[in-house]
Structure 1
Amino acid sequence: MPTSQPETSGPSEERATPDDLLHARTGTEVSPEDIVLASGKDITPRNLEWAKRKLEAEGPSALDKLLP
């Protein structure tokens, strides 16, 4: 029995998101929790300490470095 598959096509330049829209920061402060979540880790005391150190060393751009 054939199954119906939606028609797929390659990526379109019209549908690609511009790089300047991919950044997460919107002028708000970046928290250690943001860093932990962006890294794909669970929020634990150890991970929060790591994120605090990362924020101190790299500033808010630490979040942008973790996101694709």
Structure 2
Amino acid sequence: MSTSQPDASKPVTDRITPDSMLHTRTGTDVSPEDVVLASGKDITPKNLEWARRKLAQEGTAAIDKLLP
């Protein structure tokens, strides 16, 4: 019985998800909590206020700028 992973023999490029298949949103509204979490920060009153300002300035694109 082999202990190696089945896809280990494939080139790395075969295992990478193409950019055209990556999505950051499902069409729903973006909340300040979403922006805070996407930035890698903890949900605190200070960070939520930062996220509210960011959403007010940049709209829903704010989260797109944070995620790859």
TM-score (norm 2): 0.79
Aligned residues: 64
The answer to whether the Cα contact below 8 Å between 1:33 and 1:48 also exists between their aligned partners in 2 is: yes
Structure 1 residue 24: Cα displacement: 1.4
Superposition pairs for residues 1-68 of structure 1, below 5 Å?
Answer: 6=4, 8-9=8-9, 10-12=11-13, 14-68=14-68
Helix, strand or coil at the partner of 1:36: helix
The answer to whether the Cα contact below 8 Å between 1:23 and 1:64 also exists between their aligned partners in 2 is: no
Tell me, in whole angstroms, the C-alpha distance in 2 between the residues paired with 1:16 and 1:58: 30
Q: For 2:22, give the aligned amino acid.
A: L
Cα RMSD between the aligned structures? Answer: 1.8
Question: Any stretches of 5+ residues in structure 1 without a counterpart?
Answer: none
Tell me, in whole angstroms, the C-alpha distance in 1 between the residues paired with 2:23 and 2:64: 6
